[in-house]
């Protein structure tokens, strides 16, 4: 069904079938999908994968914020970005506040905005990307 949907959306591309098989295999291997009694029918596991510790979670969030077109994001939205699939995050706002890589500002009653603070050896270029000085 996944292959059929992608072919309907993207057209019959030569590498599409193998790519779908590889992605589905990876998702099964990671435990994100579980096999059912029916052939090629899978159950989506809800818990996701643990990222492996606070430092790794902070690093992943920093990477996503650096790559994101917005300068800052609401914390609840940040930890649920599709780019972070299939990981589950346990990092809290307090972890971000204690980190030199993030700036957290409360806006309104319940909006905690998170901004990535690049190291001093980096600066934004004219195109908005981070680059070495």
To the question of pTM greater than 0.95 for the whole model, the response is no
Q: What angle do CA 33, 78, 119 make, to 5 degrees?
A: 120
- Check whether residue 100 and residue 54 sit in a common domain: yes
- Check whether residue 120 and residue 68 sit in a common domain: yes
Kindly report, residue by residue over 83-131, the tens digit of the pLDDT: 888 888 889 999 999 998 899 999 888 899 999 988 765 555 555 555 5
Q: What is the span of the domain harbouring residue 57?
A: 49-132
Please count the structural domains in the chain. 2
Beta bridge partners of 105: 113
- Check whether residue 40 and residue 70 sit in a common domain: no
- Secondary structure element (H or E) that encloses residue 98, with its range: helix 93-98
- Check whether residue 13 and residue 77 sit in a common domain: no
| 3-state helix vs strand vs coil in the chain, percent to 5 | 40, 25, 40
Kindly report, residue by residue over 24-55, the tens digit of the pLDDT: 888 888 888 888 888 878 887 766 677 778 89
Query: DSSP string spanning 30-65?
Result: HTSEEE-SSTT-EEE-SS-EE-SSHHHHHHHHHHHH
């Amino acid at each position: 069904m996944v292959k059929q949907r992608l072919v309907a959306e993207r057209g019959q591309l030569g590498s599409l079938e193998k790519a779908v098989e590889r992605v589905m295999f990876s998702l099964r291997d990671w435990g994100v999908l579980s096999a059912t009694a029916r052939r090629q029918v899978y159950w989506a596991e809800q818990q996701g994968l643990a990222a492996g510790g606070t430092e790794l979670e902070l690093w992943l969030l920093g990477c996503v914020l650096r790559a994101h077109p917005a300068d800052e994001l609401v914390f609840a939205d940040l930890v649920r970005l599709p780019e972070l699939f299939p990981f589950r995050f346990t990092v809290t706002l307090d972890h971000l506040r204690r980190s030199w890589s993030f700036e957290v500002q409360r806006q309104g009653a319940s909006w905690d905005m998170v901004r990535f603070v690049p190291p001093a050896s980096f600066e934004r270029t004219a195109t908005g990307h981070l680059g070495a000085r």
